[in-house]
Structure 1
């Protein structure tokens, strides 16, 4: 993980269901998601908390698709047309790549609150272009 994600964005371990589900649905390791993507995840969680709604990966991903950088393989979250939840960042993250922190789970524990495995190594993300709202449950659509 990159230090900025833990320190500046206050992402904590073990990951909650929401973060773990997003990473699993995208098929990526936590360190593969660009810090801007982590910022959007954190912002979504704050909005859900304010609205007293449980954060849902399905609802979140009905607003975003992914972009993969050709050079390195970073995965960025890009808003789907006409569904942007947040405005774009004024200042990009710089210098975070040199601040990598290796994290090891204590024996018998997981990186997530649930026991399902999480991708831990960089790989090609799953083909993902966003979720159609029509595929969401009625309850999830109400949360939109």
Structure 2
């Protein structure tokens, strides 16, 4: 799964689309995260993709800007077993935002797509390229970048407020519940009814 032969391509697990609501092209936040940890999409465990998706849905529901430093505050990256172990996210020292989507993801490595760029001008493509530059690592990377919380990332005043508001929620939130609200026009109402909390972010 790490070959860089032509045409440009990457691999992605089927369960990301089926279970987690991931779609192509990846969002800018997802691309920024993959670039930050120097990891191809197939190197990140599905439960960690669930955290990425749920964070975006939660931010949308609460009117919070989707921010890499805010997400990093709640998580750390655990390295897989060399050479081909998957990367996974776990809660930072203060704990994560969400429960695991699945306690036991089975056989997901056997169900995947190969997404290839064929006969498309890189300047016109939105999945692989932006402005002619790759949006994220396509192929398996031997040296992902570990992180523990925010680290050296700088927090703006609004990001500090966002973290405080998220920390005030009844954590961990149910990942499946949050993802179920992804296409709802009333995300905040759904959160309030489930957790009996009036969110004021």
Give the TM-score taking structure 2 as reference length: 0.65
* Aligned length in residues: 144
Structure 1 pair 132–9 and aligned structure 2 pair: CA distance change class (3 A): same
Query: Counterparts of 2:102 and 2:16 in 1: how far apart (Å)?
Result: 17
Structure 1 pair 12–98 and aligned structure 2 pair: CA distance change class (3 A): same
Could you tell me which residue of structure 2 aligns to residue 84 of structure 1? 96
Does structure 1 residue 131 correspond to structure 2 residue 150? Answer: yes
Query: Counterparts of 2:45 and 2:61 in 1: how far apart (Å)?
Result: 25
Does structure 1 residue 44 correspond to structure 2 residue 55? Answer: yes
Structure 1 pair 45–120 and aligned structure 2 pair: CA distance change class (3 A): same
User: Following superposition, which runs of at least 4 residues in structure 1 exceed 6 angstroms of deviation?
Assistant: none
Once the two structures are TM-superposed, the CA of residue 37 in structure 1 deviates from its matched residue by 0.4
Could you tell me which residue of structure 2 aligns to residue 33 of structure 1? 44
Could you tell me which residue of structure 2 aligns to residue 96 of structure 1? 108
Once the two structures are TM-superposed, the CA of residue 83 in structure 1 deviates from its matched residue by 3.3
Aligned residue for 2:137, secondary structure, equals coil
Gaps of 5+ in 1: none
Alpha-carbon RMSD: 2.1
Could you tell me which residue of structure 2 aligns to residue 121 of structure 1? 139
Q: Does the CA-based 8 Å contact 2:73-2:149 persist in structure 1? A: yes
Structure 1 pair 113–44 and aligned structure 2 pair: CA distance change class (3 A): farther
Give the TM-score taking structure 1 as reference length: 0.88
Q: Which moved further from structure 2: 85-94 or 9-18?
A: 85-94
Could you tell me which residue of structure 1 aligns to residue 161 of structure 2? 142
Task: Looking at secondary structure, tell me which structure has more strand per residue.
Answer: 2
Structure 1 pair 134–30 and aligned structure 2 pair: CA distance change class (3 A): closer
Query: Counterparts of 2:58 and 2:68 in 1: how far apart (Å)?
Result: 14
Aligned residue for 1:102, secondary structure, equals strand
Structure showing greater radius of gyration is 2
Greater RCO (Cα-Cα under 8 Å, separation 6 or more) = 1
Cα deviation per residue 1:28-56 (whole Å; 9 max; x = unaligned)?
01111100100111111111111012211
